[in-house]
């Protein structure tokens, strides 16, 4: 009897079964299910998008097994290793898998994100491959310190001597610096374009200070301020004054029992409070153009603050930053203290929509506009639909539709498996 994959490849199955396959709802072994979905993602125009969404949120245990198995079909490994599909949790397994070719790792090393660079620096396979290490030196997301260390490592191994462009004269580092310079120029051009396109809105908002949704006190209470702001206490009402005067002050053990318990402060991460306090001070001094530049060129910490700016232009500029990571967008998609415009803009970016966690977080966020949530629900897996149907924070319309879609998906699964 032919495998299900062979039948799907020859289009010998009904559309309902193809749809179930794109959702990962067939009764086949996990490794075959992944292979089927990758085939649909790569070759099927009708169900390809659904298959890509399913793969993005596929069971981590099964995905890790496929990523680590050298016998996994090359098409699957190529799909999982592609930068647009790459899941951070799978990266270490893919790096050590001999089924993933050196050419694929070299491409990763040259164009991968900061997260990819860090993972490759920890990989035993990469450390033993001078060509891949050399490729990292040309990655704009590698720091100058890392580039210098890799250059020294390659020179010590004798590898650099065989590459004219990477002689110990420092040309390798220069190439990396040049690449970084090109990247910076591209970011600068993006900032200039953004400011030019929104010139009228910027003029209208000129002079408006930084005002984050939820209030700046949320940042201040979570960090140690460099210049502490005195606490302002509201004066007691006349009723409170009379009540206080009429009630005798407790003494001794009674006073100790009456004293409110002080909450145990959370132990902050080293340097985190100073970094956030410094970023807040810097942002508070900037005008609207300065905040736009910081939103697109700044650090992760600065973006996490500016995405909450009540000025829409600033918050949306964060999403235009070429430095923003999928992890940051996942967090923004679940936040309730951002503008609705931010939650509406995220689905407009195709790159963000390839991340299943972003889609799931948006739908589960009660602040996401209803029309956006309804449009994204069709991409959710059955388990997430079930959770959503009992989530009392989201609108009743979402809960009811989630329950209906969950029942439809489970019924379809039972029919296809029967």
Mean pLDDT of 365-374: 92
Residue 226 vs residue 262, higher pLDDT: 262
CB atoms within 10 A of CB 309: 26
Mean predicted lDDT score pLDDT of the chain: 80
Residue 244 has pLDDT above 60, yes or no: no
Can you give the pLDDT at residue 241? Answer: 38
How confident is the model over 287-343, as pLDDT tens digits?
A: 898 899 999 998 999 999 999 999 999 999 999 998 899 889 999 999 999 999 999
Residue 244 lies in a domain: no
100, 94 in Cβ contact below 8 A? Answer: yes
Asked whether residue 203 falls in the same domain as residue 296, the answer is: yes
Of the residues 324, 353, 385, which one is the last residue of a structural domain? 324
pLDDT band for 214, please (50, 70, 90 cuts): confident
67 and 32 in one domain?
yes
| Six-digit token string for 405 | 């879609």
**Is the pLDDT reported for residue 174 higher than 90?**
no
Do 45 and 27 belong to one domain?
yes
Task: Tell me, yes or no, whether 88 and 125 share the same domain.
Answer: no
pLDDT of residue 243: 39
Termini Cα distance of the chain? 17
Considering its fold, how many domains does the chain have in total?
4
The verdict on 316 and 211 lying in the same domain is: yes
Check residue 212 and report its DSSP letter. B
Q: Select the highest-mean-pLDDT range: 143-147, 230-234, 235-239.
A: 143-147
DSSP of 1-66, one letter per residue?
A: ---HHHHHHTT-S-HHHHHHHHTT-SSS-HHHHHHHHHHHHHH-TTTHHHHHHHHHT--HHHHHHH
What pLDDT is recorded for position 272?
Answer: 54
142 and 65 belong to one structural domain: no
Tell me: do 406 and 334 sit in the same domain. yes
pLDDT of residue 86: 87
pLDDT in tens, 35-69: 999 999 999 989 999 999 899 889 989 999 999 99
pLDDT at 65: 95
Give the model confidence (pLDDT) of 271-290 as tens digits: 555 555 678 888 888 889 88
What pairs with residue 212 in β-bridges? Answer: 309
Rounded to an integer, the average pLDDT of 256-261 is 45
pLDDT above 60 for 80: yes
What per-residue confidence (pLDDT) applies to 26? 92
What DSSP string runs through 225-291? Answer: -SSPPPPP-PPPPHHHHHHHHHSPPP-HHHHHHHSPPPPPPP-PPTTHHHHHHHHHHHHHT--HHHH
User: Are 141 and 203 contained in the same domain?
Assistant: no
Q: Is residue 242 part of a domain?
A: no
In a domain, 379, yes or no: yes
What range does the domain containing 153 cover?
109-186
Does 362 lie in the same domain as 394?
yes
Which of 298, 324, 350 terminates a domain? The answer is 324
Residue 144 C-alpha from the chain's centroid: 25
pLDDT, residue 238, reads 38
182 pLDDT tier (thresholds 50, 70, 90): low
HSE-CB for 180 with a 13 A CA cutoff: 17
The pTM (predicted TM-score) of the whole model is 0.48
Q: Is residue 5 included in any domain, yes or no?
A: yes
pLDDT category at 228 given cuts 50, 70, 90 is very low
What does the alpha-carbon distance between residue 25 and residue 414 come to, in Å, rounded to a whole number?
A: 9
Q: Give percent of the chain with pLDDT exceeding 70.
A: 77
Q: Is 158 left (phi over 0), alpha (psi -120 to 50) or beta?
A: left
pLDDT in tens, 102-117: 888 988 888 888 889 9
Tens of pLDDT, residue by residue over 17-34, are 999 999 999 999 999 999
84 and 173, same domain (yes or no)? no
* Same domain assignment for residues 69 and 14: yes
**Each residue's pLDDT tens digit, 122-160:** 999 999 998 899 889 888 888 888 888 888 888 887 775
Last residue of a domain, one of 139, 162, 186: 186
Region 260-278 average pLDDT: 53
Higher pLDDT, 243 or 205: 205
């Amino acid at each position: 009897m032919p495998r299900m994959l062979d039948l799907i490849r020859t289009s010998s199955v009904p559309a309902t079964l193809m749809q179930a396959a794109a959702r990962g709802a067939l009764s086949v072994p996990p490794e075959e299910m992944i292979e089927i979905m990758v085939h649909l993602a790569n070759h099927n125009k009708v169900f390809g998008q659904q298959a890509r969404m399913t793969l993005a949120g596929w069971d981590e245990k099964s995905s890790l097994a496929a990523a680590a198995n050298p016998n996994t079909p090359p098409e699957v490994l190529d799909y999982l290793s592609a930068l647009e599909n790459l899941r951070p949790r799978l990266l270490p397994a893919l790096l050590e898998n001999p089924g993933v070719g050196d050419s694929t790792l070299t491409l990763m090393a040259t164009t991968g994100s900061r997260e990819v660079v860090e993972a490759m620096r920890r990989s035993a396979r990469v450390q033993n491959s001078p060509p891949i290490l050399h490729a990292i030196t040309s990655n704009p997301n590698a720091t100058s310190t890392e580039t210098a260390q890799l250059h020294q490592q390659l020179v010590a191994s004798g590898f650099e001597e065989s590459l004219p462009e990477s002689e110990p004269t420092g040309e390798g580092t220069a190439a990396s610096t040049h690449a970084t310079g090109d990247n910076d120029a591209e970011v600068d051009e993006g900032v200039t374009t953004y400011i030019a396109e929104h010139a009228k809105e910027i003029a209208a908002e000129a002079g408006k200070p930084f005002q984050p949704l939820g209030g700046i006190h949320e940042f201040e209470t979570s960090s140690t301020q460099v210049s502490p702001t005195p606490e302002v206490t509201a004066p007691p009402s006349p009723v409170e004054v009379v009540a206080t005067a009429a009630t005798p002050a407790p003494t001794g053990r009674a006073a100790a029992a009456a004293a409110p318990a002080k909450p145990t402060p959370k132990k902050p991460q080293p340097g985190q409070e100073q970094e956030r306090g410094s970023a807040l001070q810097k942002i508070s001094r900037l005008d609207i153009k300065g905040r736009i530049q910081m939103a697109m060129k700044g650090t992760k910490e600065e973006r996490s603050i500016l995405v909450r700016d009540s000025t829409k232009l600033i918050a949306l500029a964060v999403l235009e930053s070429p430095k923003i990571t999928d992890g940051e967008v996942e967090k923004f998609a679940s936040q309730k203290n951002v503008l609705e415009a931010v939650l509406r803009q995220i689905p407009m970016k195709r790159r963000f929509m390839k991340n299943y966690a972003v889609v799931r977080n948006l739908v589960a966020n009660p602040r996401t506009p209803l029309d956006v949530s309804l449009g994204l629900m069709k991409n959710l897996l059955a388990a997430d639909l079930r959770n959503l149907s009992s989530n009392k924070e989201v609108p009743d319309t979402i809960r009811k539709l989630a329950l209906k879609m969950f029942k439809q998906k489970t019924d379809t699964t039972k029919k296809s498996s029967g």
